[in-house]
């Protein structure tokens, strides 16, 4: 089996092997103390690059650059239509560099090139185009006020939407460029500026994107990227007094720390956190659709999806058939480097993640789960884990309760829809859920009772830029994409005019 580096195109190689700097105020910048972070190819475990290890001082410089750009006429003073045109230009530039970005992302994150192309590049191009349109549509309302304690006076009242200011965007490693653009696109459309801190192990596409934005004429300081560790650069960004909004995607534990810090300084905050999403298959479902659907719900992006269908619940009468069908698909998955088009699953992102996932499988086995398929790394360098199905699981097992963020599926049965809903909701998370059935009455009775932010019927993990995406409970606060995301980057202002 080859590794990803051997499969990389010439353009991508040129970028990966170049010296990498953070983007601060339009300049490529090394860390204030010269520190660096190694970047690895997960398909071999080999180091492929270093990026600066951003310091507290670097974060301060980046926030100052973002503030300056926010106040500057070259950005805040741009007419909405001019901002829209620039964002569209950025979308086109990303589309023109689609192959390069997909390859770099695949190399750095270990994910399939088909996946990085779709979710990091093509969907990001769509996201930029969708949000560009909002730049000219952020209007307020006129309000017919009565002011009952001043009956002889007349007033004219209206609302306006103003950009919140400097946004701190912090992203995880599972869909690195995609997550970054979900944050950057509404920032640009609303007229805000941003300091992005990508995950420490997948910083490359964010740095390449910042260079592209500069090339096409996004003013200096509007998009800043500080690479660095969460506990230092991330924490400094979140607590910086001149940041107005925090947009975070990552684990629930980190989200809790960030939420507390945001509350301390009354910053706007959106948190997209973890999940343990249920897939519920009723006995009247079309199994030719439901079985591959359930398998894909956990296999997609190697299970490194916040809304991965990691808990499968199957009605008793079809349990054995569904378990056997899903296990057969999972067992047949061909592991290989993400850049090899014949691979069906790549390595996990890091040695730490590989060990974490294997640890969850071990804990399930120790607590009595049956391994139907999978349960090991493979005899090859790189951070591969065989996708795994666990049966005979109980609600209190660690592998059932906690987010694994890897290709591990737990399968259990239920008697009726009441029990299915109770089991699906028996989690601290509330991100996504899918129901598989041909009975539309059951669908409409079940969906309102599922405690999640997004539900799917006879499908799982389908996203669109125009539909809001976010969780409830420990899966987060606020949402991304759609009109909701752009509004979260604005403050609403009321104005009341005495027209007497």
Strand order in the sheet with 432-436: 370-373, 388-391, 408-414, 309-315, 277-281, 432-436, 454-457
- For residues 422 and 424, give the distance between their C-alpha atoms in angstroms, rounded to a whole number: 6
As measured in angstroms, the least distance from the Cβ of 349 to ligand NAD is 9
Reading the block at residue 84, the tokens are 């829209």
By C-beta, is 210 or 372 nearer to ligand NAD?
210
Residue 234 makes contact with ligand NAD by CB under 6 A: yes
Residue with tokens 């970047």: 39
Using alpha carbons only, how large is the chain's radius of gyration in Å?
24
The set of residues, in sequence order, having a beta carbon less than 8 Å from that of 233 and lying 6+ positions away, is 53, 54, 55, 56, 58, 59, 197, 226, 227
Contacts with 293 (C-beta within 8 Å, 6 or more apart), sequence order: 279, 434, 436, 458, 459, 460
306 is catalytic: yes
Active-site position among 100, 272, 403, 480: 272
Q: How far is the CB of 49 from ligand NAD (least distance, A)?
A: 17
- The reply to whether 277 sits near ligand NAD by the rule CB under 6 A is no
Please work out, in degrees rounded to the nearest 5, the angle formed at the alpha carbon of residue 29 by the alpha carbons of 26 and 34.
Answer: 170
Helices (H), 37-122: 56-71, 80-96, 98-109, 113-115
Question: Which x/- pattern over 374-403 shows residues binding ligand NAD (rule: CB under 6 A)?
Answer: -----------------------------x
Residue closer to ligand NAD (CB basis): 179 or 437: 179
Stretch of residues binding ligand NAD (CB under 6 A), selected from 104-112, 193-201, 209-217, 432-440: 193-201
* CA–CA distance, 436 with 281 (Å, rounded to integer): 5
Q: Which of residues 411-470 bind ligand NAD (CB under 6 A)?
A: 431
Q: Distance between CA 74 and CA 93 in Å, rounded?
A: 21
Catalytic residue status for 272: yes
Nearer to ligand NAD, 120 or 403 (CB): 403
CB of 379 to ligand NAD, least distance (A): 27
- Among 437, 403, 144, which residue's Cα sits nearest to residue 318? 437
The correct pick among 21, 163, 165, 172 for binding ligand NAD (CB under 6 A) is: 172
Identify which of residues 37 and 189 has a Cβ nearer to ligand NAD in the complex. Answer: 37
Out of 235, 326, 420, 424, which residue is the one contacting ligand NAD (CB under 6 A)?
A: 235
Residue 254 interacts with ligand NAD (CB under 6 A): yes or no: yes
Structure token digits, residue 492 = 């609403």
Could you list the active site residues? 272, 306
- Site residues, ligand NAD (CB under 6 A): 170-174, 197, 199-200, 229-231, 234-235, 238, 249-251, 254, 257-258, 272-275, 306, 403, 405, 431, 471, 475-476
């Amino acid at each position: 089996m080859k590794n990803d580096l051997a499969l990389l195109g010439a353009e991508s190689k040129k970028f990966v092997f170049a010296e990498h700097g953070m983007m601060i105020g339009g300049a490529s910048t090394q860390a204030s103390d010269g520190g660096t972070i190694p970047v690895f190819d997960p398909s071999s475990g080999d180091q492929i690059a270093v990026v600066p290890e951003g310091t507290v001082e670097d974060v301060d410089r980046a926030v100052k650059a973002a503030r300056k750009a926010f106040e500057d006429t070259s950005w805040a003073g741009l007419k909405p239509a001019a901002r829209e045109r620039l964002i569209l230009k950025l979308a086109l530039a990303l589309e023109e560099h689609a192959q390069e970005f997909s390859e770099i992302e695949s190399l750095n994150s270990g994910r399939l090139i088909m996946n990085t192309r779709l979710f990091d590049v093509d969907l990001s191009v769509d996201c930029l185009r969708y949000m560009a349109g909002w730049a000219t549509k952020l209007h307020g309302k006129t309000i017919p006020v009565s002011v009952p304690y001043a009956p002889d006076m007349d007033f004219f009242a209206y609302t306006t939407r103003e950009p919140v200011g400097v946004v701190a965007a912090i992203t995880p490693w599972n869909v690195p460029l995609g997550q970054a653009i979900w944050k950057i696109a509404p920032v640009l459309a609303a007229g805000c500026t941003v300091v992005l801190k990508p995950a420490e192990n997948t910083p490359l596409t964010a740095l390449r994107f910042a260079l592209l934005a500069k090339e096409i004429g996004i003013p200096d300081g509007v998009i800043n990227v500080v690479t660095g560790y969460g506990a230092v650069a991330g924490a400094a960004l979140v607590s910086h007094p001149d940041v107005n909004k925090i947009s975070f995607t990552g684990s629930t534990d980190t989200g809790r720390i960030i939420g507390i810090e945001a509350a301390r300084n009354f910053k706007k905050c959106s948190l997209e956190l973890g999940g343990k999403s249920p897939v519920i298959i009723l006995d009247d479902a079309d199994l030719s659709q439901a079985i591959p659907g359930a398998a894909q719900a956990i296999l997609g992006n190697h299970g490194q999806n916040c809304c991965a269908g990691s808990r499968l619940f199957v009605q008793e009468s079809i349990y054995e058939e569904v378990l056997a069908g899903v296990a057969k698909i999972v067992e047949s998955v061909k592991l290989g480097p993400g850049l090899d088009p014949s691979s069906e699953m790549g390595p996990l992102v890091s040695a730490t993640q590989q060990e974490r996932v294997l640890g969850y499988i071990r804990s399930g086995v120790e607590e009595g789960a049956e391994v139907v398929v999978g349960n090991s790394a493979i005899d090859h360098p790189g951070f591969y884990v065989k996708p795994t199905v666990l049966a005979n699981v109980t609600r209190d097992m660690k592998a059932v309760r906690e987010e694994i963020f890897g290709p591990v599926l737990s399968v259990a049965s239920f008697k009726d829809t009441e029990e299915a809903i109770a089991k699906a909701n028996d989690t601290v998370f509330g991100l996504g859920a899918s129901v598989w059935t041909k009975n539309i009455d059951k669908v409409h009775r079940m969906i309102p009772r599922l405690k999640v932010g997004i539900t799917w019927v006879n499908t799982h993990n389908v996203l669109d830029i125009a539909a809001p995406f976010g969780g409830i409970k420990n899966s987060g606060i606020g949402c991304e994409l759609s009109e909701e995301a752009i509004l979260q980057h604005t403050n609403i202002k009321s104005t009341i005019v005495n027209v007497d």
